[in-house]
Amino acid sequence: MRALRIASIGMVAAAALLAFAEPSMANIASEGGGHHVNVLSFMPEETMHGKFNYPAELKGSFGQAIESLEGKAEPFAMVHPPRMHNGDVVNIQLDALGLEDDGRLEDDGINCSLTYHIAGGSHTLGGMCEVITATHTENFKTKVVIKPVAIPAGAAGANARWKLLFVNDKTGVAVYANIEE
């Protein structure tokens, strides 16, 4: 019987903790608006590597931004995190292991930690990205420090503006971002 009372007290205590925790968790999840901080990276098509320059800005939705580089570069990684606030961090990690035309392994990857800031109505994104390319003939890994880049905020869709954050000349990887209000 003593074990039953202890178990009952434990269950009551656990229920009380959950009851108090639930509203605070709900407040965190629904806390004030925030912004969508969209990040889109590209790799050049193999035949286009080094043969074109990425534009400083793309326009339109995710799909329109991707289509604007069709035949030159293909999307590599993208994120669309909601409700970002000043000081929040967007992490992008992707590792794509595949085969080259001759059947040998190749590995391409990107790992970015980007900090979002908003001050006085101005939005910036900056941080660090690591770009990795490995084939049977070369292994290349570079870290890029991205100084804060001003990103205009606007509506999603056809009028969205994507600012170029950086291009890695060795691999041709480019990263763009936009802010949705």
pLDDT digit string, tens, across residues 83-135: 899 999 999 998 888 888 788 888 889 999 999 999 988 999 999 999 988 88
Asked if residue 164 lies in contact with residue 57, where contact means CB atoms within 8 angstroms, the answer is yes
The three-point CA angle 135-71-148 to 5° equals 75
Note the pLDDT of residue 32.
Answer: 58
> Read out DSSP for 164-176?
EEEE-TTT--EEE
Using the predicted structure, report yes or no on whether residue 52 has a pLDDT greater than 90. Answer: no
pLDDT digit string, tens, across residues 124-177: 999 999 998 888 788 889 999 999 999 989 988 889 999 999 998 888 899 999
Mean pLDDT on 51-55: 91
Cβ neighbours of 107 (radius 10 Å): 13
